[in-house]
Each structure stands twice: as structure tokens, then as C-alpha cells.
């Protein structure tokens, strides 16, 4: 007999992006620094980007699956592009040393860094990786949803970060073998740009997330991974940010800084032609009319693959 494995495109047509079939409920004290382990399938769009070393592959950054062929991450993860054709992407794993039978691996066919990325200021710190061949979706591997400008990000209150980065700031070169997660708060850019915080260093296309008192944050090895917020009255998560930078890890008034996916949605669509459905406009129209109570357009059957793009934001990669 022949085993047919559904592609991500097939699953997207079923309105499944941004959903977590295997996820358990979250506790309120999750954090990456000093973190809490996740179970397989908790964040099914997250990707481990690994580089070859003399002792094997080593995790360096995170990423997010946004379509069958594309992953989004941070541009600063590629300051050193040596042996890029030998880098490895791991999907569907929670424990990197024992990824399990549901994990899949791909290599990088093509790298697209934002054309206006500035390494000195982390401006436009996003990049896309085209996979060597399309990924097969499962309960453990799902695409993320990218929000358009109609989504009110500031109103979302259940936000999380996740990654395999450093969990103990006293050991800055030791990353986690098991995927960690943390609940964070979105912080207004005006607050983050104030003199006592980041003093006008935050760009208009950034998001700021963490805790004013510190203690919970992304850290080294989390770059490129996702900042994810749950939709109101729904189980869907939006990939609202890609982890970019920060001053240290888990310090008071120094929360994590993320590239805002709303600002980069058009760039993603332009750089991934044919990856997403032409029905995006219909979905946006439905969302706008739903707010005014004048829409009878059925939600069932809409392809979300236009807006459902995933981004794993993770901070401070290392080589």
C-alpha cells in the first residue's frame, strides 16, 4: 500500500494555519531564561536552524514555517554564510538530541535577506529560506499565520516566545536541548523608546515584548524564532514577530525586540511568488465586514495560505 502524507498546502486549504493540534495548556510562569520544557507539537511551526561543526550539527537560530517551501527567520543569523549549502533545518522536534520519528529535515535551496537590512542597527532584520523540497505537514508540523494590517496586534494579550536558546545567563554558550517557551507582554514602542529603556533605538517596524521587571526573555540562540499571539476567542496563533535583538537577557526595562510581521507581509509575498493563495483579498474583506456586522461571506473554505505565514523570532545567534 502507499502512504499518502498531506502537504502543508492541503492542510492550509482546510483553514489550519496557526493551530496547534497537540498543544497542552500553558502555565503562567513559563520562561526561556530559566525555562520550562515543551512537549512535541506545542509550537508546530518552529524550526531549528543548525550549522555543521567538526563534532556534528549545532543549533544556531530559530525560524518559522510559513508555507510548504518557505521559512522566515532573522537576517542577522547569516552574518557567517560558510557552508550554507550544508546547513540543516529541523522541523517537528522538541528535543534536538532525540528529534523522534515525526521530525523532518531539509536543507536550504535559496536564502533571501531583506534588501534593506542594516546589521549595525538590526533594521529590517528578516530573511527567508526556501527549502530544498516542500515540507509535509502533520500534527507536529504546521504553518504559522502572518497578520495583515487589519489585525489589531496591540489588543492581543496572550503572547509567547519559544526557542532552544540559552536558559542560564551565567552559561552564555550553552543552549537548551529541549524547546523552551515563555509568556510575554507586548510593550508599547513609546515605552521601549523612552530614555530609561532603549532611548529611541527601536524602529517603527519593531515590536517590543517581555516584562518590565525582567526575569523572562529570549536569549542567545533564540534569534529568528517566533513571537506568537493568540487570536481572541479562537485557538489560532498569529506570528506577530521575529526575534531580533535586545540588551542582554531578561534585564529590567530591556525587553526583547522583534521584527513586526505586519510590516513585512508584502515583502514576504513579493519574495515568495506563487506560495500563497490569491484568495487573501476575500479573507481580508471578510474580516473587515465582520467588524461592521455586514458580512455574510462564509468563512469555511477560505484559503488562509496568503496570510498564514509563520515566523520564528529568536535572539542572538552564534557561530
Residues that are catalytic:
76, 125, 223
DSSP 74: -
Residues 280 and 309 sit within 8 Å (Cβ to Cβ) = no
| Residue 59, H or E segment | strand 56-65
Q: How far apart are the first and last CA of the chain?
A: 45
Task: Show the CA angle centred on residue 147, arms to residues 165 and 298, nearest 5°.
Answer: 135
Burial class (CB in 10 A: 0-12, 13-18, 19+), 90: buried
Lookup: cell for 26: 500553558
**Distance (Å, whole) CA 222 – CA 243:** 7
Lookup: cell for 313: 523570532
Sheet strands side by side (includes 88-91): 104-106, 88-91, 46-53, 56-65, 70-73, 127-131, 108-113
Lookup: cell for 309: 505565514
Number of separate helices (H) and strands (E) present in the chain: 4, 14
Amino acid at each position: 500500500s502507499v502512504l499518502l502524507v498531506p502537504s502543508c498546502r492541503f492542510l492550509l486549504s482546510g483553514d489550519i494555519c496557526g493551530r496547534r493540534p497537540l498543544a497542552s495548556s500553558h502555565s503562567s510562569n513559563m520562561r526561556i531564561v530559566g525555562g520550562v520544557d515543551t512537549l512535541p507539537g506545542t509550537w508546530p511551526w518552529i524550526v531549528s536552524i543548525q550549522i555543521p561543526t567538526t563534532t556534528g550539527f549545532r543549533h544556531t537560530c530559530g525560524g518559522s514555517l510559513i508555507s510548504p517551501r518557505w521559512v522566515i527567520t532573522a537576517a542577522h543569523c547569516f552574518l557567517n554564510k560558510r557552508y550554507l549549502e550544508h546547513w540543516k533545518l529541523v522541523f517537528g522536534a522538541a528535543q534536538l538530541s532525540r528529534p523522534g520519528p515525526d521530525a523532518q529535515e531539509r536543507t536550504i535551496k535559496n536564502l533571501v535577506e531583506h534588501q534593506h537590512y542594516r546589521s549595525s542597527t538590526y533594521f529590517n532584520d528578516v530573511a527567508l529560506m526556501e527549502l530544498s523540497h516542500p515540507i509535509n505537514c502533520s500534527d507536529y508540523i504546521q504553518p504559522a499565520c502572518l497578520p495583515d494590517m487589519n489585525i489589531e496586534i496591540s489588543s492581543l494579550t496572550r503572547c509567547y516566545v519559544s526557542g532552544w536558546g540559552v536558559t542560564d545567563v551565567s552559561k552564555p554558550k550553552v543552549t537548551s536541548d529541549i524547546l523552551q517557551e515563555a509568556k510575554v507582554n507586548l510593550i508599547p514602542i513609546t515605552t521601549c523608546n523612552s530614555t530609561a529603556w532603549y532611548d529611541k533605538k527601536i524602529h517603527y517596524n519593531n515590536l517590543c515584548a517581555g516584562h518590565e521587571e525582567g526575569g523572562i526573555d529570549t536569549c542567545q540562540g533564540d534569534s529568528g524564532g517566533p513571537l506568537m499571539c493568540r487570536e481572541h476567542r479562537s485557538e489560532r496563533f498569529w506570528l506577530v514577530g521575529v526575534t531580533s535583538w535586545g540588551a542582554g537577557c531578561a534585564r529590567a526595562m530591556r525587553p526583547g525586540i522583534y521584527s513586526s510581521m505586519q510590516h513585512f507581509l508584502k515583502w514576504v509575498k513579493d519574495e515568495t511568488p506563487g506560495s500563497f493563495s490569491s484568495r487573501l483579498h476575500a479573507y481580508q474583506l471578510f474580516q473587515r465586514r465582520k467588524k461592521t456586522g455586514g458580512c455574510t461571506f462564509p468563512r469555511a473554505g477560505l484559503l488562509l495560505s496568503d496570510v498564514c505565514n509563520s515566523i520564528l523570532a529568536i535572539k542572538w545567534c552564534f557561530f
